Amino acid sequence: MSFALSWKLFIVLIRLTFALNTMLLNVVLYDVYYYVMPSIAIFFLLDLFGKSKPKEARKWQRFSLIVVPIVFVIAFSYLLFVVDSCFSIPFSNVIFPLILLPVTHLYFRSKVSGEEKPSRWMMFAILVIILLTPYVLAFSGFNLAISAIGTATNEGERAKLASEYVRVITTSFWGLGGIEGGYISAHRALRGSYLDFQKFLMAGVGSCGEMARATKVFLDSLGVDSRLVGFVGEDHMFVEVKLNGSWFVLDPGYQLNLMTREERGSKRLSEIGGLSYVVAYTEHGLVELTQEYVKTDKIVIRVTNDGEPVANAKITLAHIFMGNMIWLPEFYSNTNGILELKIGPLSYNNSAIEPAEPYYWIYVNGQNTGFRVDSAGSGKVTYIEIELTSIVR
């Protein structure tokens, strides 16, 4: 059986599996491992140091012995879930080793009570299985995927397969509403700008940010030159991959692979009508790429104070997109108080992104100047002069 056919069958099998909503099961199992099991461990620890139970418990006492642990585990699991969701650190990975406590408790309880003590090897095996199972499942899948993709004949094919694989294993919460949508989206693997890759492999929940970063991890492992790229003004991220000296787009979120920059820019304009600012994220900083994707307008901003040019004034542009305030990267004026920008079209025409402002507000040193700028991508030049003393504070 050829590699191409084997891969297609593999993708079909995965998609059929996902059709049964097993990815929701992944999220639930993630919660069991990282929130419920540590909560049980903590309860065992508290119980270990608590008062001894009466030999002949009354009916209400027997009832409380069942209800109290259940309530505690539910409440503490929710607390761990909330804390883990609110902090940009892998908090759950720190708490997870607490599941050792129940096994330790059972071991010593049997020793004290005179019950037959479990075999040391059995205890060791239980600990190993409990601790390693989620990690083995996650990273064995990753390594198997890398091995399969690595057999492709050329870098372009490997890059495309990596992007397709990441899209297939991702549970997207777009279009989900109500409790299910809220529950799944709360398991996103993106912590600030950092991808918790382990969580992504285990739970698989994400949007374009997670998919782009995960694809980058796969490509790095495959030795394919790539970088993250963002449609910053429209809150979207994907990957560029360098093949034979040229950059091509891998956009797993939209299942668009190995497109040219111009093709992706044109596609984006057909999707929402606008593509205002594009940057690549490199280890040396940001690289502006807007003019490589779409036609632009040139914006010249001059900042003065009592008529004198202001050097190194911090200039930022912001607007509302899909109801959220989106900020472009910070810019600084030169010694003449001037900043030149190239902005792509802002002619939004898709109601799905509303509310969206088809212009940017200009901020100088953190203050909204009241000036705003738009762009039709027609090549025109717009001059804006901002006098700081005239800004109403």
User: Residue 160: which residues within 8 A CB-CB, separation 6 or more?
Assistant: 250, 257, 258
| Cα 171 from Cα 18, distance rounded (Å) | 9
Could you count the other beta carbons within 10 Å of the beta carbon of residue 133? Answer: 12
Is the distance from CB of 326 to CB of 358 less than 8 angstroms?
no
240 neighbors 227 (Cβ within 8 angstroms): yes
* pLDDT tens by residue, 290-333: 999 999 999 999 999 999 999 999 999 999 999 999 999 999 99
Cα angle for residues 91, 92, 94 (degrees, 5° grid): 70
What pLDDT does 200 receive? 87
What CATH fold (topology level) applies to the domain 295-390? Immunoglobulin-like (2.60.40)
Tell me the C-alpha distance between 303 and 207, whole Å: 38
Sheet holding 236-243, edge to edge: 256-259, 246-251, 236-243, 226-231, 278-282, 285-288
Helix (H, G, I), strand (E, B) or coil at 177: coil
* Phi, psi (rounded to 5 degrees) for 391: -75, 130
pTM for the model stands at 0.80
> 47 is written with which tokens?
């119980």
Find out whether 167 and 253 touch, Cβ atoms under 8 Å: yes
CA dist 88 and 86 (Å) reads: 7
Torsion, CA 344, CA 349, CA 350, CA 353, rounded to 10: 50
The token duo for 350 is 């898709």
Phi, psi of 165 (to 5 degrees): -65, -45
Q: Where are the beta strands (DSSP E) in the chain?
A: 190-191, 194-195, 226-231, 236-243, 246-251, 256-259, 278-282, 285-288, 297-305, 308-309, 314-321, 324-327, 331-332, 338-343, 360-364, 367-373, 381-387
- Measured at the CA of 38, the angle between CA 197 and CA 200, to 5 degrees, comes to 15
CA distances from 163 to 96, 153, 189, 287 (A): 31, 16, 17, 23
- The segments of the chain whose pLDDT lies below 50 read 1, 16-20
Q: What is the pLDDT of residue 190?
A: 81
Q: What are the extents of the domains in the chain? A: 3-137, 295-390
Burial class (CB in 10 A: 0-12, 13-18, 19+), 154: exposed
Q: Which of 243, 236, 191, 195 is nearest to 215 (CA)?
A: 195
At position 203, the amino acid (one-letter code) is A
